[in-house]
Amino acid sequence: MQFNMSTASCLLTVLFLLLSVVGFCHGGVTSSYVRKAEGSSDLPKEAFPPPPGFNAPEQVHITQGDRGGRGVIISWVTPLMRHPNFVPYWAAEGKLKNYKLTAPAKITSYRYFNYTSGYIHHATIKRLEYDTKYFYEIGIGVCARLFHFRTPPKVGPDVPYTFGIMGDLGQTINSNETLEHYISNPTAQTMLFAGDLSYADDHPYHDNERWDTWGRFIEKSAAYQPWIWTAGNHELDFAPEIQEYVPFKPYMNRYHVPYRSSQSTSPLWYSIKRASAHIIVLSSYSAYGKYTPQYTWLKQELTKVNRAETPWLIVLLHSPWYNSNNYHFMEGESMRVAFESWFVESKVDIVLAGHVHAYERSERISNVRYNITDGLSTPIKDQSAPIYITIGDGGNIEGIANSFTDPQPSYSAFREASFGHATLAIKNRTHAHYTWHRNQDSNAVAADSLWLYNRHYYPVEELSH
């Protein structure tokens, strides 16, 4: 007989491949990989020791310090004394190489229940050279600590730039895997962080020492490249039962952002321009109804976006608008109703959210036709709409969100209950390559990837994989 077993299995394989390709084209993908659901506890505080030396500066982190990328805010904590509260910095290259300048810092500190913070320093440096490596040093003598960063290229329409994306990080063994995986991925130049930082509030009395351990934890990345901050629900630290009535108190003391340079009146919503991207950060946990400060600001802000200068329009917020996980289902709905039509009119390219501890990517869809009498409440394909990414898969103490709605709704293109991070590599005004990297894979592997086409310059439908 000619038709032997290996031919049969070969045919079966071909059939299987065909079927899986067909499956890809006609609907969303729910990856079968599911990580164990129970959360890992936070690593012991001793896993995040302070640097050696008396009053040594710790928890060093940087973020963009102005509108266009020539500024940086350098932040650090000194545990016992107010000094040093200045930071020497110098270019490592270029015509001002090794020319030392010093920036002073503003000091803040706060009390939370029975915790007293160290001295929290924020030094804003402006008018740096574009696309230049800088060194900076915090501390004196034996405690001096040397760091470096690179400023972005001048804002412009075809400037290539790669962003990292992460959310809901926490400080568990999974968080450490995510962060290490991200750091070992050499391409990303700036972190877009979608909110929920330390998860200190999951500890008794919101143990604010967990804010300190988290600051030490992320330093190995955040001292060397800017992390662009978004506030999540775990930044609220609103706890009337222990007489803590001021929302966002630890977060706003520790993580400063350049909100004034985008005419915002609150650090919880602001925007920056970096390379070829205009990045808008919103707060899911501040008022956004009509006439509120955030609403008024966003309306103005969208009129200022200049696609000729920054073709890529990216929005960061914490609570996703499109989420087909049973965890936090529809929590982002009221904000979606408030702002979705603006995002479609403005042709936002991508919206990054966290909150749900899994990964999900949407199709380009919108649901803006609906009114209370027309019944048109199903999202439809819309090439003016953003792609929505939920990337709350940093690996925090609360574990994975492994309960997706079944069947997968048509707006959901890909979803998986794994931990990981993503990168968005902007190539020019039309093309950006997006990849999601789960922790269990090596760096070269992208479990989800997509060529994104710019909504302003090339509003063509993207193809998954």
Ligand X SMILES: *[C@@H]1O[C@H](CO)[C@@H](O)[C@H](O)[C@H]1NC(C)=O
* Residue numbers annotated as active site: 328
Residue (of 253, 268, 258) closest to 298 by Cα position:
268
Q: Is 180 in the site for ligand X (CB under 6 A)?
A: yes
Interface characters, 47-86, with ligand X (x: CB under 6 A): x---------------------------------------
Q: How many residues bind ligand X (CB under 6 A)?
A: 14
Inter-axis angle of helices 209-222 and 173-184, nearest 10: 20
CA 212 – CA 214 distance, rounded (Å): 5
Q: What's the min distance (Å) between Cβ of 374 and ligand X? A: 3
Q: Which of 137, 196, 201, 363 binds Fe ion (CB under 5 A)?
A: 196
Cβ distance 351 to 363 under 8 Å? no
Binding flag, residue 308, ligand X (CB under 6 A): no
State which amino acid sits at residue 141: G
CB of 324 to Fe ion, least distance (A): 17
Scanning 82-90, 95-103, 311-319, 369-377 for contacts with ligand X by CB under 6 A, the matching segment is 369-377
Please list the residues that pair with 422 across neighbouring strands: 165, 436
At a CB cut-off of 8 Å and minimum separation 6, what does 105 contact? 74, 76, 85, 86, 87, 121, 122, 123
- DSSP letter for each residue of 156-171: -TT--EEEEEE----S
Quick note: the x/- pattern for ligand X over 157-176, rule CB under 6 A, is -------------------x
- Minimum distance, C-beta of residue 444 to ligand X, in the bound complex (Å): 18
Q: Cα–Cα distance between 287 and 334 in angstroms, integer?
A: 11
Round to whole Å and give the CA distance between 178 and 81. 33
Instruction: Determine the interface stretch with Fe ion among 88-96, 134-142, 191-199, 396-404 (rule: CB under 5 A).
Output: 191-199
Q: Which one of ligand X, Fe ion, none interacts with residue 428, CB within 5 to 8 A by kind?
A: ligand X
Torsion of CA 330, 335, 336, 341, to 10 degrees: 170
Distance CA 367, CA 345 (A): 13
Q: Does residue 430 touch ligand X according to CB under 6 A?
A: yes
> What is the β-pairing status of strands 115-116 and 312-316?
unpaired
- The torsion region of residue 14 among left (phi > 0), alpha (psi -120 to 50) and beta comes to alpha
Residue reference for tokens 């060194």: 135
Residues of this chain, 227-246, that bind Fe ion according to CB under 5 A: 232-233
User: Minimum Å distance from CB 197 to ligand X?
Assistant: 16
**Does residue 43 interact with ligand X by CB under 6 A?**
yes
Q: Is 205 in the site for ligand X (CB under 6 A)?
A: yes
Q: How many CB atoms lie within 10 A of CB 326?
A: 13
DSSP string covering 416-437, please?
EE--EEEEEEE-SSSEEEEEEE
**Position of minimal CB gap to ligand X:** 374
Among ligand X, Fe ion, none, residue 4 binds (CB under 5-8 Å by kind) = none
- Only one of the segments 83-91, 227-235, 289-297, 427-435 lies at the binding site for ligand X (rule: CB under 6 A); that segment is 427-435
Instruction: Please select the residue that binds ligand X; options are 32, 243, 303, 371, rule is CB under 6 A.
Output: 371
User: Residues 55, 253, 341, 428: which binds ligand X (CB under 6 A)?
Assistant: 428
Q: List the single partner that 196 binds among ligand X, Fe ion, none, CB under 5 to 8 Å by kind.
A: Fe ion
In the complex, least distance from residue 396 CB atom to Fe ion, rounded to whole angstroms: 9
Binding footprint of ligand X on the chain (CB under 6 A): 43, 47, 114-115, 176, 180, 205, 371, 373-374, 427-428, 430-431
Q: Which chain residues interact with Fe ion by CB under 5 A?
A: 196, 232-233, 355
